[in-house]
A = this chain, B = another copy of it.
Amino acid sequence: MPEFNAPLRDMRFVLNELFDAPALWSRLPDLTQQIDAETADAILEEAAKITSSLVAPLNRSGDEEGVHWQDGKVTTPAGFREAYATYIEGGWVGLSGNPRFGGLGAPKMLAVLFEEMLYGANCSFALYSALSSGACLAIDAHASSDLKERYLPPMYEGRWAGSMCLTEAHAGTDLGLIRTRAELQADGSYRITGSKIFITGGEQDLTENIIHLVLARLPDAPAGPKGISLFLVPKIQVTDDGSLGAANSLSCGSIEHKMGIKASATCVMNFDGATGWLIGESNRGLAAMFTMMNYERLSIGIQGLGCAEASYQNARTYAQERLQSRSAKGPVAKAQIADPIIVHGDVRRMLLTMKAMTEGGRAFACYVAQQLDLAKFATDLDERQKAESLVALLTPVAKAFFTDIGLESCIHGQQVFGGHGYIREWGQEQLVRDTRIAQIYEGTNGIQALDLLGRKVLGNGGAALNVFAGDIRDYANSGVAPYASHVLPALERLVNVSRWLQVQAAVDPNVISSSCVEYLHLFGYVSYAYLWARMAEVADTKLAEDEKFYGAKRATADFFFARLLPRVESLDACIRSGSASLYALEADQF
């Protein structure tokens, strides 16, 4: 049976040694009251405990049993209810929630590490609360204070969950097409009617109530995305004193049978004149929903990271123990029938690819979280705006790159096991199946790439990219950075191809969608190169303290620069081939 143990040593390295988060917290007034180094460390310890001992043991059994649906009721797999009850007692759902409504107010830099553990332990379990956290964020940012006071406290507690009702059968990526209707009632509420699909946790048996955030159209709304409003629609209606009232007119019509995340209920939700409440302004629902979507996009990115870490842990153990063939340089384990397979170059290549990409990803997730914390808590307006611009730029990279690389890593981790990787009991194939969805939902990775290149880079004439590139150049030219020679050429490659794309896009509208996925990957490798340079530098200065850990960090950086960063060469060449070769065929010539 696979085990999962949170990579606490590396998480502490990233949080404290790479980013010195406690120093940041102490200079931000709103955070300094909520968190310090000691509290943060205690939270990480506790999170590691709960994910490894409570949540991870339900991962395989949840996959085998799956979720049940009968007559509109969803039953989660054995053990989920009890575990969820214990889990919410720890206050984890409200970890980074607004303290005014019962949240713990922890910084995002800490929350992303917790999320990684949770996804690494059990993706299906993690999803039940991931949607709640995002829904809370949107309610906190856009809803009336009455709605906030009524809904946020039980949601932060985890007694009530959230869901995100966007997709309809004919409207997935293209939300402008949705048909669900909302009609104003005399009491100021709305009646919501329509059918939504692919609703994660739309129905379950873990919480007393489920608060659906639903996109719908008012009768007089303009067509397309500018005619969409956001509504809060509870499964059970909430009375004025906050207690539960009558059931709302909505139901779960069925659940999907999926490749993975089988313990997570993916629901068809039918709203049949259900009572709902407007969140934010009418016809501005998509913008309000983006508060939740951006949260979920980073979270789903971290799903890729968590699965990759879990896969790496299993593969490492297997490679250290499985005996097969001898080292090319002659026997290593002479007393054994063969050497552990970790002596073989190709096994090391797979393990190091996983290790370098997961540790690089962890650093990147924390870096994005640092910008989120600055955007929320910095007292200086310039600092806040700069951070906001970095968050907007880097969120699609995190979502898509973490999950594309997450799948690659899980496939490597499965391959290390040979035939056993294909057998269910070892857990490696489940990680491949579970992580695969993360490239698809919350906006496919192609959509993330379009958002990055079209809106976040070219849409502002490269201004946001310049901010990011400026930070990297400042670091690399600071005089100490010993790894700058790896980072700067890769960065200039990114900047140059961005300029080339800006010129091309002016004459060829197809070039953006034709090149965006390769562009996002190029962006990801450059970002990781920047963070690996910083990590290697920290490791250099501390090598004498712990040669095993810091030496491994240094060596992993070298591997990244030697074996993974060269991928940018081909990506660059592909981008520069433009869109012509993609549009030479008519649709019926495929």
The reply to whether A581 and B563 contact each other, CB–CB distance below 8 Å, is yes
B516 touches A346 (CB 8 A): yes
Asked if A500 lies at the interface with its beta carbon under 8 angstroms from chain B, I say no
Contact across chains for A172 and B422 when beta carbons are under 8 A apart: no
Contact A551–B440 (Cβ < 8 Å):
no
Are the C-beta atoms of A407 and B415 separated by less than 8 Å? no
Complex CA gap A131/B566 in Å reads 40
Interface set, chain A 557-575, CB cutoff 8 A to B? 558-559, 561-563, 566-571, 573-574
**Complex: A99 Cα to B265 Cα, angstroms:** 56
- CB contacts (< 8 Å) of A581 on chain B: these are 352, 555, 558-559, 561-563
In the bound assembly, the distance between CA atoms of A450 and B556 in angstroms comes to 24
A73 an interface residue at 8 Å Cβ cutoff?
no
Is A419 at the interface (CB under 8 A from chain B)? yes
Query: Which of B347, B407, B587 contacts A411, CB < 8 Å?
Result: B407
Cβ A422 vs Cβ B450 within 8 A: no
Q: A433-B433, A590-B342 are in contact. Are A556 and B577 (CB under 8 A)?
A: no
Q: How far is the CA of A584 from the CA of B559 in the complex (A)?
A: 9
In contact, B174 and A415 (Cβ under 8 angstroms): no
- Please state if A346 and B513 are interface contacts (CB–CB under 8 Å): yes
> Of the 9-residue stretches A82-90, A152-160, A317-325, which lies at the interface with chain B?
A317-325
Residues B337 and A419 in contact, CB atoms below 8 Å apart? no
By a CB distance below 8 angstroms, the chain B residues around A555 are 581, 584-585, 589
- Taking the closest CB of chain B, its distance from the CB of A396, in whole angstroms, is 13
| Pair B346/A585 contact, Cβ less than 8 Å | no
Q: Which of B172, B316, B344, B419 contacts A513 (CB 8 A)?
A: B344
Q: List which A63-111 residues lie within 8 A (CB) of chain B.
A: none
Given A345-B582, A582-B345, A589-B548, check contact A338 B436 (CB 8 Å).
Answer: no
Interface residues of A in 338-359 (CB under 8 A from B): 338, 340, 342-352, 355
CB of A291 within 8 Å of the partner chain: no
Residue numbers in B under 8 Å from A338 (CB-CB): 174, 177
Is the beta-carbon distance between A590 and B440 smaller than 8 angstroms? Answer: no
Closest residue of B by beta carbon distance from A567: B570
Known: A349-B517, A419-B198, A590-B316. A573 touches B582 (CB 8 A): no
Which of A26-34, A251-259, A478-486 contacts its partner? A251-259
Q: A282 at the A/B interface (Cβ < 8 Å)?
A: no
Copies of this chain in the oligomer? 2
A387 to chain B, nearest CB (A): 29
From B343, B517, B552, A589 is in contact (CB under 8 Å) with B552
Complex interface residues of chain A between 291 and 345 (CB less than 8 A to chain B): 316, 319-320, 323-325, 328-329, 337-338, 340, 342-345
**Residues from chain B with Cβ under 8 Å of A61 in the complex:** none
* CB pair A444 B422 closer than 8 Å: no
Q: Indicate if A290 sits at the interface (CB-CB under 8 A).
A: no
One of A47-55, A120-128, A423-431, A531-539 contacting the partner: A423-431
Say yes or no: B449 contacts A346, CB within 8 Å: yes
- The contact of A587 among B340, B346, B422, B424, by CB within 8 Å, is B340
With an 8 A cutoff between CB atoms, is A496 at the interface?
no
Q: Is A579 an interface residue (CB 8 A)?
A: yes
> Bound complex: CA of A380 vs CA of B367, how far in Å?
67
Cβ A558 vs Cβ B584 within 8 A: yes
Q: Is B325's CB under 8 angstroms from A173's CB?
A: yes
Choose among A440, A582, A589 the residue with the greatest number of B CB atoms under 10 Å from its CB: A582
Chain B contacts for A424, CB-based, 8 A: 257-259
Asked whether any CB of chain B lies closer than 8 Å to the CB of A267, the reply is no
Q: Verify A440–B415 contact, CB threshold 8 A.
A: yes
- Across the interface, A436 reaches (CB within 8 A) one of B345, B350, B422, B516, namely B422
Given A355-B590, A569-B570, decide whether A509 and B577 contact each other with a Cβ distance below 8 A: no
A172 and B345 in contact (CB under 8 A), knowing A407-B411, A556-B585? no
With both chains docked as a complex, state the minimum distance between the C-beta of A170 and any C-beta of chain B, in angstroms.
7
Pair B324/A446 contact, Cβ less than 8 Å:
no
Interface check A469, CB cutoff 8 A: no
Contacts of A515 in B (CB 8 A): 345
Flag if A418 contacts B170 (CB, 8 Å): no
Bound CA–CA A382/B498 (angstroms): 54
**CB of A514 within 8 Å of the partner chain:** yes
**Please, which residues of chain B bring their CB within 8 A of the CB of A407?**
411
Add 6 more A-B contacts to A346-B449, A411-B436 (CB < 8 A): A258-B423, A316-B590, A345-B583, A346-B513, A346-B516, A555-B585
15 contacts between A and B (CB under 8 A): A170-B337, A171-B324, A174-B324, A260-B422, A343-B587, A345-B579, A347-B446, A351-B590, A421-B440, A551-B585, A552-B590, A555-B584, A555-B585, A562-B574, A563-B577
Closest 9 CB pairs of A and B: A345-B513, A345-B514, A566-B573, A259-B429, A555-B584, A562-B577, A328-B509, A552-B589, A570-B570
